[in-house]
Amino acid sequence: MHAISPESHAIVDDVLEYTRRRALWEDIPLDTPVPPEELARLAPMSITPGGIGAQNALALFSEVLAPTCLSTDHPGYLSFIPSAPTKAATAFDLVVSASSIYGGSWLEGAGAVHAENEVLAWLASELGLPGGAGGVFVQGGTIGNLSALVAARDAARRSRTERGLPQPTRWKVVSSVESHSSIASAANVMDIDVVDIRPGDDGRLHGDAVAEALAAHGDAVFAVVATAGTTNFGIIDDLAGIADVTRRHGTWLHVDGAYGLAGALVPAMREAYAGIEHADSLIVDPHKWLFAPFDACALIYRDPQVALRAHTQQADYLDTLADTPLPNPSDLAVQLTRRARGLPLWFSLATYGTDEYRTAIAHGITLAARIADEIERRPALSLVRRPQLSVVVLRREGWEAADYDAWSARLLASQLAFVVPSSHQGEPVLRLAIINPLTTFELLCEVLDTLA
């Protein structure tokens, strides 16, 4: 057995000390990106034949590279969908890396898979899915949506074969034009067509529109994608109405809740998610509103056996895994090698309890409603639509796209907040995504003040 060198001890100690400082940094800097040519000047080639040493590499990262990476856990990070991992989740992410756990099979990672499955079972139960529901943690919503749609198409193919029916010339999936861009990406990968439906005036995809699409496109449609919290507005589709239609037609219902499905954990919001219990598959990203570090997507199937048939890989060297009834996460999505990325969420839930999570999620919803009221009180500002979850979309009267861009750059330069413009029906708008429990009403008002 070779002894670990003093140099290795020093490297681990230095990295852990830096990590400790960053994880416990209360006044987190927002930071700002720089142009490629500037980084090329500040950080010349560090990969050399002899290496530059751990201390120099760590100094290069902490003093040059890290300050050019925006801190998504900053309370003023209000763009896209922020990430605000708990201290417990952040700390345990180190344990996952240090433990060298392979999370693709029960044989190699039984304890990790057990803990991840406990989280998945809890989520499934909260959402009203049956006891046999289960799934896997994958890299992110894009992989989750792709994996679910691959399983849905495989199920449709098998069903038609068993009934002696021909396969469609082109398979199709129905979704709203407000669906996440990953649906179109999955369709490109799968070489299928997307039937886009315009939502109603309320921004929601409704059951009657889905019924019309299914009637028009027939058996070529193998799945309908509903959204539980659209990225741009945080709107929840008419899940109950859509589920009623898909059940009548025998069509797979997939719910993309990457951002917004976490809101269903708040008792006061449950009614808005009625119908989610009928989903055949769904996703929610813990690195968004479940306070876990990048990257993690919980992909859950009503019947995991359907996913197993679609995704289990066959190879001689995998026979040991295939010839066992033990659950292998790698058989449930388009991946084989996988990190046990659900463990930080498990540790955080086990540490703080689910009640704390409900409170933290409710904070974003309450704060969004409160700042929406404040926007309506300010003459130069107006809401594009009242928030349903924690995304607030507003306009500054009289501003063009260039005005929003210039304001966004000034705001980031001030290090107060990071807010980038969005658009709605061709109109440039501003969008505040409120996730972080440390984001305050006072901070949001400061942001609004800069729009005067």
Q: Which long-range contacts (CB under 8 A, 24 or more apart) does 189-194 make?
A: 189/146, 190/146, 190/149, 190/150, 190/153, 192/153
The pLDDT of residue 28: 87
C-alpha angle 184/233/140, rounded to 5°?
45
Global pTM exceeds 0.85: yes
Count of C-beta atoms within a 10 Å radius of residue 215: 11
Domain extent listing, the chain? 6-30+33-69, 94-352, 354-449
Residues 72 and 327 sit within 8 Å (Cβ to Cβ):
no
The contacts of residue 233 (CB under 8 Å, 6+ apart) are 178, 203, 384, 385, 387, 388, 391, 393, 424
The pLDDT of residue 314: 76
Q: Write the pLDDT tens digit of every residue in 152-171.
A: 999 999 999 999 999 999 99
Which string of DSSP letters, residue by residue, matches 67-86?
GGS--TTSTTB-SSS-----
Evaluate if residue 327 carries a pLDDT over 80. no
What band does 317 get if pLDDT is binned at 50, 70 and 90?
Answer: low
The three-state secondary structure class of 203 is coil
* Burial of 28 from C-beta contacts in 10 A (0-12 / 13-18 / 19+): middle
What band does 76 get if pLDDT is binned at 50, 70 and 90?
Answer: very high
The pLDDT of residue 39: 95
The CATH code that applies to domain 94-352 is: 3.40.640.10
* Burial of 357 from C-beta contacts in 10 A (0-12 / 13-18 / 19+): buried
Domain 354-449, CATH class in plain words: alpha beta
Name the nearest CA neighbour of 199 among 183, 176, 217. Answer: 176
Give the tokens for residue 67.
């300050």
Residues 308-330 have a mean pLDDT of 79
Evaluate if residue 427 carries a pLDDT over 80. yes
CA 148 to chain centre: 15
Which residue's entry shows tokens 């741009």? 232
Give the tokens for residue 214.
């299914």
Q: Across the chain, what does the average pLDDT equal? A: 95
The pLDDT of residue 4: 85
